[in-house]
Structure 1
Amino acid sequence: MNNKYKSMKLQNLLILLLILLLILLLILLLIYLFRIYISKQEEDRETFALNKPQNHKIILLGDSIFKNNIYVPENKSVSALLKKEYGKNNVLVLAMDGATIKEMTRQIDIIYPHQKYNNKNTYIFVSFGGNDIIDNFILNKTHVSLEELFQRYKSNMTYLKNKVPKANICLTTVYYPQQESYNREKLIKKWNNKIIYYAKINNYLILNLHEHLLDKTDFTNKIEPSVKGGKIIVSQINKIINQNQIINQNQIINQN
């Protein structure tokens, strides 16, 4: 009986040791994965730093998605964060709160006289459509079909491309507002599909904001990018520029 008790005690001890060993292995695995994550973050930062020439020019066309300074502290707006990243003189903000597609031409015309923007180091981000959907299908201020709005959008994009053919152009999708009264999911999805396809066939870059601004905390004043939302937008802009730089560098290497 005593031997049996000792045997059971030994078995329990072995089981306990095995559990402790498994816990230790799990901790070591988590430490290993955490180190990989930190290493990847540092690598991404280094890569971005190496691929962010100081002569990059960033132009923001559109609405309050890019011009959210009246909804957040000035130093935490999208434009302020970009100027901190790229330099005050390298970021031109032409976007206006409440702007619709009919304002596209006016914003584009401000760029054209400055031929310094017509080069491969210029990135033009275009965000239009959200206010048109609100005006036409929510507030009923105007009565223009989605198809007609998109035809006007395409016409202005052709105008922009003809003015600065060498610049990198990035189209922005419309996010889904968390405020229910402003969320017309089917219409926004239809609009975004048009934007994505149009970008693809014209070889434009695409900023899929509808995939990144998803939480209520990403917004302020019902539908505007919050401080958190602005940081996400800037992060995605950085990512697009960085990825495009890498692609361009690889193309140059392959040509040589």
Structure 2
Amino acid sequence: MTNKIVLLGDSVFDNGSYVAAGADVMAHLTRQLPVGWSAALLANDGSVMKDVRLQLERLPAATTHLVVSMGGNDALGVSSVLDAPSRSVADTLLRLADIREQFCSEYASTLDAVLAAKLPTAICSIYDVRYPEPDRRRIAVTALAILNDCITRAATERGVPLIDLRVICNEDTDFANAIEPSAEGGKKIAAAIISFLTREKASSGRAELIAR
């Protein structure tokens, strides 16, 4: 029996244009796949959560496993809140709470659409960005933690394995720029996907954390 993994989402997987001098995630994954496995890339650079629903419509009939990375571009789309004037810390937190609630709702509904395919599925956290300015990086990472909470809760509530890219891509060399994985980062991401595919069957309904 052959198995086929399909990658859905954004440039975390579709990073070929950022690693001209090295291998992208798909190249690393293809090299590491066990015998009898193949892979397909439906993820597309720039995609937001609503685009994942369109990617689902193009799933190959032979698909047996899914891995999804989504939410990073949605977060980028609301990042202007970090520079907005504020009357108080409480005022800023309320704005972030509004963003979090909308993000959580959209993430959960999109993940449910993915899980409706009834295939073994893993999802990814949003990794910590690598802005060169220390304060900007700290602000962005702190804000992303609020949205990653949505992803962690969605995984836990649905018993879905979570590939924690914050832990996996933990070096500046894992990034081709502030927000895209390098060849080195792509190799780590591919290895984590392999860990998902080759792990022993987990107990049904229990979430797992994959960090390498």
Instruction: Tell me the equivalent position of 1:100.
Output: 48
Alignment check: 8 A CA contact 1:75 1:81 kept: no
Q: What is the distance in 1 between the residues matched to 2:21 and 2:190?
A: 15
Q: What is the distance in 1 between the residues matched to 2:44 and 2:36?
A: 18
Alignment check: 8 A CA contact 2:8 2:67 kept: yes
Instruction: Tell me the equivalent position of 1:78.
Output: 25
Whichever of the two has the greater Rg, that structure is: 1
Residues 101 and 88 of structure 1, relative CA distance in 2, 3 Å threshold: farther
Q: How far did residue 247 of structure 1 move?
A: 2.6
**Pairs within 5 Å for 1:212-223:** 212-223=168-179
Q: How far did residue 225 of structure 1 move?
A: 0.4
Residues 1:136 and 2:78 aligned together: yes
Alignment check: 8 A CA contact 1:101 1:149 kept: no
Give the length in aligned residue pairs.
185
Residues 1:174 and 2:121 aligned together: no
Q: What is the distance in 2 between the residues matched to 1:109 and 1:212?
A: 30
The aligned amino acid for 1:80 is: A
Q: TM-score, normalised by structure 1?
A: 0.65
Q: Secondary structure at the match of 2:104?
A: helix
| Identity in percent | 26
Q: Secondary structure at the match of 2:122?
A: strand
Q: How far did residue 79 of structure 1 move?
A: 0.7
Instruction: Tell me the equivalent position of 2:159.
Output: 203
Q: TM-score, normalised by structure 2?
A: 0.78
Q: Could you tell me which of 139, 151, 172 is aligned with 2:105?
A: 151
Higher RCO (CA < 8 A, seq sep 6+): 2
RMSD, aligned CA: 2.6
Q: Secondary structure at the match of 2:15?
A: coil
Instruction: Tell me the equivalent position of 2:184.
Output: 228
Q: What is the distance in 1 between the residues matched to 2:129 and 2:161?
A: 23
Superposed CA deviations along residues 43-69 of structure 1, whole A, max 9, x for unmatched, are xxxxxxxxxxx7221111111100100
Structure 1 unaligned runs (5+)? 1-53, 252-256
Superposed CA deviations along residues 169-225 of structure 1, whole A, max 9, x for unmatched, are 101000101214466122211221221121122111110011111111110122210
Q: What is the distance in 2 between the residues matched to 1:139 and 1:88?
A: 47
Q: Secondary structure at the match of 2:58?
A: helix
Q: Secondary structure at the match of 1:59?
A: strand
Instruction: Tell me the equivalent position of 1:188.
Output: 144
Superposed CA deviations along residues 67-125 of structure 1, whole A, max 9, x for unmatched, are 100000376100111122338982110111111112121111111xx4432xxxx2211
Instruction: Tell me the equivalent position of 1:8.
Output: none
